[in-house]
Amino acid sequence: MNREVQSVLVVLVGSALLRISLTDVHLRYVKPEMAPFLVAAGALMVLLGLWTVLVEGFLRPRSGSGQAQDGRTHDEQGSDGQDEEHGAVHEHGHGPRVAWLLLLPVLGIFLVAPPALGSWSAAREPGRTPPPPAGSTLDPLPAGDPVATSLTDFVTRAAFDDAATLLGRRVRLTGFVTPDGEGGWWLSRMAMSCCAADGYPVSVRILDVPAPPADTWVQVDGRHVADPAAAEAGDPPSLQVEDLVPVDEPREPYES
């Protein structure tokens, strides 16, 4: 690929990063804290590509082979090993062919902007129980009826301390519908440690309410139903639902 095409690629990748980081789209893939770094990286790439275009446009290119292309030192006689690695080591005067692959995430972002991980991912493995909290007891739930809390918090409270902090309390949880394939469903959200690639589900089994369509975001009010056997086995806790309303997908779909 010649240098103009290279610069276009660089600008495209940078624009893709800018597109998702200046909007909320990046929240489908990475943590919110990454936004400033994505903006910076995208801007730098766009500037680099434009810089090259300016250089190409205003400097007459010298007649070819005397000047090392791309300013890189490379081995004149190094033809061994270059061909087996399909385009990894570039030939004199051309850019690395492997860089064409960068069009894939660019197209992925501009064409498709894949959705945040949802019920397909949440159904693949049982909801994960977080590790035991530091210290021996959990702080009590804040006041309120119902009290809004995260799924991770609810699952933690249900799994440890005999769910003492949940006794007699009505909680409000928000998540999406994950059918379990046997007519029942979980209320789930995906959580991530680094980015969506390592996402894992946090789920709560919903009792006695027919499943809305998969991936519908809902807000439920209900009470914890203790099931010591399930807690021992590490299964997701259960919720007896008193009220259910559909809601819009939250701005940050993953639970942090």
Binding to other proteins (CB under 8 A) within 97-136 occurs at 97-102, 104-105, 107-121, 124-125
One-letter amino acid for residue 6 of the chain: Q
Looking at beta carbons only, is 55 or 164 nearer to other proteins? 55
One-letter amino acid for residue 158 of the chain: A
Looking at beta carbons only, is 67 or 242 nearer to other proteins? 67
- Interface residue with other proteins, options 68, 164, 167, 207 (CB under 8 A): 68
x/- mask, other proteins, residues 72-101, rule CB under 8 A, reads xxxxxxx-xxx-xx--xxx----xxxxxxx
190 near 199, Cβ under 8 Å?
yes
Beta carbon of residue 255, minimum distance to other proteins (angstroms, whole number): 14
- Interface residue with other proteins, options 23, 32, 67, 132 (CB under 8 A): 67
Looking at beta carbons only, is 74 or 147 nearer to other proteins? 74
Task: Map the footprint of other proteins across residues 21-50, applying CB under 8 A.
Answer: 26, 28-30, 34, 37-38, 40-41, 44-45, 48-49
- Interface residue with other proteins, options 93, 140, 167, 193 (CB under 8 A): 193
Distance CA 254, CA 252 (A): 6
| Residues contacting 113, CB < 8 A, separation 6+ | 20, 25, 28
Distances (CA, A) of 50 to 22, 37, 134, 153, 228: 20, 20, 51, 48, 63
Tokens of 121: 């991912």
Beta carbon of residue 120, minimum distance to other proteins (angstroms, whole number): 5
Backbone angles phi, psi at 30, to 5 degrees: -135, 175
95 near 5, Cβ under 8 Å?
yes
